[in-house]
Amino acid sequence: MNIAGILVFGTFLILMIVVGILAAKYQKSTSEFWVGNRGFGTAVLSIAIVASIMHGGTLLGGTGVMAAQGPTTLNNLSFALGFLVVLAFMAGKLRRFGGYTLPDLMGSRFESHKFQAFSAVVVLVAAVASLIAQTKTMGIVVSQLTGVPLSVALTISTIIFVFYTTVGGMRAAIWTDIIQWAFMMIGVIALGAFLWKPMGGISGMAVKVETVAPGWTSLTGIGWAPMAFISWHVVWFIAYFTRIEFITKMYTAKDEKTARKSVAVALILLLLFINVTVFFAGAARVMVWDAVKSPDQALPFLVDKVMTPFWAAVTLSGIAAAAMSTVSSLLLMSGASIAHDLIRKSYHEPRGIEKSEEYYLRISQITVALVGVVALIGAFYTPR
């Protein structure tokens, strides 16, 4: 077992539990549980957006794909344009609408309970699929970080994020996003510091990587067919302004102005953050590419090669934190889809059935716990 990894990640998990307990005392209504009583300002919400989007797959998969095919894979333009769509056309309107979920908006826009129910099922399926992937990523990283078996890493991590989300709702999700973002940033800065001298900075990295992989720094990268390259960026453009864990955070803003400002600030932070992965990808191509069997292994192998055990533990904890920062948002969306969209809006209200706020709150919390179990089971049966 990796003692440094256990101590660092154990400290991180304790913080998550404490935050969940502190946030639990606020959970008196569905508005508090699903949208944090719509009370978050620009600074907090911007970081929460960054944390929920920069998940474990972005760090592991993004670095690995860039190491394989070059930094042109980095979809900055698609990413920025997708955010601009949210900023110009969605952020203010979503906050003005004041709903809880994306199906809430669909049902109101088309005046259809059935369409809201259908949208809720789509969101639920998409959220569960993404949860399984994020849970698996987190388990793999935690297993490498601590030295415990994958099954143990998956189980412990899932118990923690299901606990703090179930008891603390959106407030716990946002507060833990801030801590997880801090872990991510510390890990990224530490890895960059360890790589800077041996790689000779960014310019030295570019020279070295062109030596081992000619064309890596070119606009077309390595192995891209023209239509595949165009399709890749179009898909990501659409993906960024339709990410439900992103756009539903607009409901949590204090007002419309805060929602729009948060998107703008988050875009700047994310562009700064994600571009650092280009440096990591080039270093991985130079230093560890011959040893990896799949692109997803590039970043963990790089961390092991250049960092001391303590700082490797900090950096891997940051990657695990990235995965955990996304799952809480997905869990909350799943709970709201069942309790609010399917049960309250699509079944109870059309039939004149009245239930208390506590009833829907408990249904949502139970759903969050059950979806967490489904994600854990799915992660167990997903190949590495």
Question: For 252-281, what is the mean pLDDT?
Answer: 90
Question: Quick one: pLDDT band at residue 3, thresholds 50, 70, 90?
Answer: confident
Return the closest-CA partner of residue 58 out of 329, 267, 323: 323
195-247 pLDDT, tens digit per residue, is 999 999 999 999 999 999 999 988 778 877 888 888 888 888 888 888 888 88
Q: How many CB atoms lie within 10 A of CB 140?
A: 23
Question: For 255-266, what is the mean pLDDT?
Answer: 95
Cα dihedral value 222, 269, 263, 255, nearest 10: 170
Cα dihedral value 271, 275, 276, 280, nearest 10: 150
Considering Cα of 249, then 251, then 254, then 259, what sign does the dihedral take?
positive
Considering Cα of 31, then 55, then 246, then 88, what sign does the dihedral take?
positive
341-357 pLDDT, tens digit per residue, is 999 999 999 999 999 99
Question: For 317-331, what is the mean pLDDT?
Answer: 81
Separation of alpha carbons 93 and 81, rounded Å: 18
113-146 and 150-199 helices, crossing angle to 10°: 70
Question: Quick one: pLDDT band at residue 283, thresholds 50, 70, 90?
Answer: very high
pLDDT at 72: 74
Helices (H), 110-225: 113-146, 150-199, 201-212
Whether residue 57 has pLDDT greater than 70? no
pLDDT at 75: 65
Whether residue 383 has pLDDT greater than 80? no
Amino acid identity of 59? L
pTM, rounded to two decimals: 0.86
**Domains of the chain from N-terminus onward:** 3-380 (1.20.1730.10)
Computed over every residue of the chain, the mean pLDDT equals 88
Separation of alpha carbons 384 and 141, rounded Å: 11
234-252 pLDDT, tens digit per residue, is 888 888 888 888 888 999 9
Percent of the chain with pLDDT over 90: 49
Question: For 141-148, what is the mean pLDDT?
Answer: 84
Higher pLDDT among residues 144 and 189, named by residue: 189
